[in-house]
Structure 1
Amino acid sequence: MALVTLSGYPCSGKTKRAHQLQAHLEKRLQDSSYAGPKLKVVVLSDDLLNLDRSAYDDSRSEKPARGALFTAMQRQMGADTILIVDAMNYIKGFRYQMYCAAREFKLRVCTVYVVATQELCKQWNAEREDGRSYAPETLDNLLVRYEEPSSMVRWDSPLITVLWTEEDVPIDDIWKAVTEGNVKPPNAGTQAVPKAPTDALHTLEHTSTALVSAIMAEQAASGGVGGKVTLSVSDTVKPQITLPYRNVTLSEMQRMKRQFVTVHKKAITLGTVEKGAVDWSEASVAEKFVAYLEENLKP
């Protein structure tokens, strides 16, 4: 249904905002005036995954921690879920990766930027008594490296900002984003390429050869009159073709066949970019070859 990405400095109050948001969303979903699909609200965080704050001490330990968060996020995504990711999400490349994953699942997206001053974050980190504080040098490093979200880029939009002075999250704006926002289609580059069946090459070669033979036989029988004729490729495949009003030579037909086969071999071996299922049956190949010949045979 939707992915809500929380982003902000470490110890800026993101978990508080996540809990506020979860409570508001669940209340609205249970309200009698709500007439939409049945949804659940899930919060995912480093704490719930038991990722220690020391994972951010260096890049070697941070990378698998971020990978664990991303994997868990993908498992929780679904058409019946509003997923709130309560983590720093401070690297714009990681936020883009999350955005692409949401598009794969056809989810709406929203970024909530939790803002607090660096001095406040350091103060709140020092005051923590739950054993989940950052080492001072780690906190300083993360504050310097933080990449602020921007409403100008698609993976951070729509961007909703919550200041540390605000008592609550702007639930109306977030509700609108997760229930009415646009659902972006998946990136074309990430889509699985439809593959041709294993006998497609054989069908391509066999059918085009049979069509060439049928055309040459028709010309021999009619004396090269041309016009619209019906060819017999097999018992079930009998395509119609409009031949030019001249005698088409065998060498010309063989050249056309080689060009046609070469072009379509690439689609078979490398995959095709055509939308939907691609038909490589004998009838479909015959139809394609007839269209190719009619377009390329000179009058």
Structure 2
Amino acid sequence: MALVTITGYPSSGKSRRALQLKTHLESRLQDPNYAGPKLKVQIISDDELNLDRNVYSDSRSEKPARGALFTAMQRQMSQDTILIIDSLNYIKGFRYQMYCAARELKLRVCTIFVVTTQDLAREWNETRQDSKVYPSETFENLVQRYEEPSSMVRWDSPLFTVPWLDEDIPADDIWKAVTEGNIKPPNAGTQAVPKAPTDALRTLEHTTTTMVSAIMSEQAASGGIGGPVTLALSSTLKPRVSLPSRNITLSELQRLKRQFVTVHKKAITLGTVEKGVVDWSEESVADKFAAYIEENLKS
């Protein structure tokens, strides 16, 4: 249904805002006047994933921590869930990555920027009485590296800024964004590349080799008169190909086969940019190779 990304300085009050939002959303969903789809509200946070604040002390531990957060997010994103990501989310590239994942599933998105001054966030961090304190050096490093969200970029929009002085969040506007906001369709950058079946390479090689042998046999039987011929590759596979009125050498056919296989092997191993599912069946490969031969053999 929707993905809500919360971002802000460490110890700026993000978890408090996430709980406020969850309370507001659940209240509206339980309202007797609500007539929309049945939805649930969930929060994914560092604490829920048992990520210690020390993981942000160096990149070697931070990278797998972000990976765990992203994996948990992907697992819980769905059309019946409003998912709130309560974490630092201080890197714009990571916010963009989350945006792309949400867009691929056609979810609505919004970002909540929890704003406080560096001095106040530092004070709150130093005076915390729980185990969620950021080490001083880590805190300073995160503040310096923090990349503020911007309403001018699509992955941070719509953006709701919540200053530390506000007692509550703009619940009405956020509710509208997650229930009525525009759903952007996936683009080429977020769509998975169609993959060929596991036996596509074998089918490509076997079918083209069999066709070369069949053409040489047909030419020997007809004396090289050319014209349209039917190649009986099997009881069900009988492609037709038009041959020139001359003797075709085996080296010519093998050269065309190598060229054809090379081009299509790249599409199999790297994926294809064609829309929809590409047919890698024997019939399709045979028809394509027949057309390739006709186009490249000169009379």
When normalised by structure 1's length, the TM-score is: 0.79
Tell me the distance in 1 between the aligned counterparts of 2:138 and 2:62.
11
Deviations 1:191-211 (A, max 9, x none): 46624434x444333432333
Tell me the distance in 2 between the aligned counterparts of 1:176 and 1:242.
63
For the 8 Å contact 1:6–1:85, the answer to whether it is kept is yes
Question: Once the two structures are aligned, what percentage of the paired residues are identical?
Answer: 67
Partner of 2:186: 185
Matches within 5 A, 1:231-250: 231-244=231-244, 246-250=245-249
| Bigger mean CA offset, 102-111 vs 283-292 | 102-111
For the 8 Å contact 1:113–1:159, the answer to whether it is kept is yes
For the 8 Å contact 1:24–1:171, the answer to whether it is kept is yes
Cα separation, partners in 2 of 1:165 and 1:239, compared to 1, 3 Å: same
Which aligned segments of 4 or more residues in structure 1 are displaced greater than 6 angstroms? none
Deviations 1:230-258 (A, max 9, x none): 332221112233444x3252243333223
Tell me the distance in 2 between the aligned counterparts of 1:203 and 1:149.
50
Partner of 2:271: 272
When normalised by structure 2's length, the TM-score is: 0.79
Cα separation, partners in 2 of 1:294 and 1:157, compared to 1, 3 Å: farther
Unaligned runs of 5+ in 1: none
Partner of 1:162: 162
Cα separation, partners in 2 of 1:29 and 1:187, compared to 1, 3 Å: farther
Tell me the distance in 1 between the aligned counterparts of 2:61 and 2:217.
73
Deviation at 1:129, TM superposition (A): 4.3
| Bigger mean CA offset, 201-210 vs 144-153 | 201-210
Deviation at 1:12, TM superposition (A): 2.3
SS in 2 for 1:44: strand
**1:72 and 2:43 equivalent?**
no
Deviation at 1:7, TM superposition (A): 0.5
Deviations 1:167-192 (A, max 9, x none): 43233443343333324537658846
Paired residue total: 296
Cα separation, partners in 2 of 1:248 and 1:173, compared to 1, 3 Å: farther
For the 8 Å contact 1:229–1:241, the answer to whether it is kept is yes
Matches within 5 A, 1:10-29: 10-29=10-29
Cα separation, partners in 2 of 1:207 and 1:165, compared to 1, 3 Å: same
Matches within 5 A, 1:1-299: 1-57=1-57, 62-63=62-63, 65-103=65-103, 105-126=105-126, 128-130=128-130, 132-179=132-179, 180-185=181-186, 191=192, 194-198=195-199, 200-219=200-219, 226-244=226-244, 246-250=245-249, 251-268=251-268, 270-273=269-272, 274-299=274-299
SS in 1 for 2:298: coil
Letter aligned with residue 209 of structure 1: T
SS in 2 for 1:4: strand
Tell me the distance in 1 between the aligned counterparts of 2:132 and 2:92.
24
For the 8 Å contact 1:100–1:187, the answer to whether it is kept is no
**Aligned residues: CA RMSD:** 3.4
Tell me the distance in 2 between the aligned counterparts of 1:265 and 1:132.
53
Tell me the distance in 1 between the aligned counterparts of 2:141 and 2:254.
68
For the 8 Å contact 2:103–2:190, the answer to whether it is kept is no
Cα separation, partners in 2 of 1:181 and 1:252, compared to 1, 3 Å: same
Unaligned runs of 5+ in 2: none
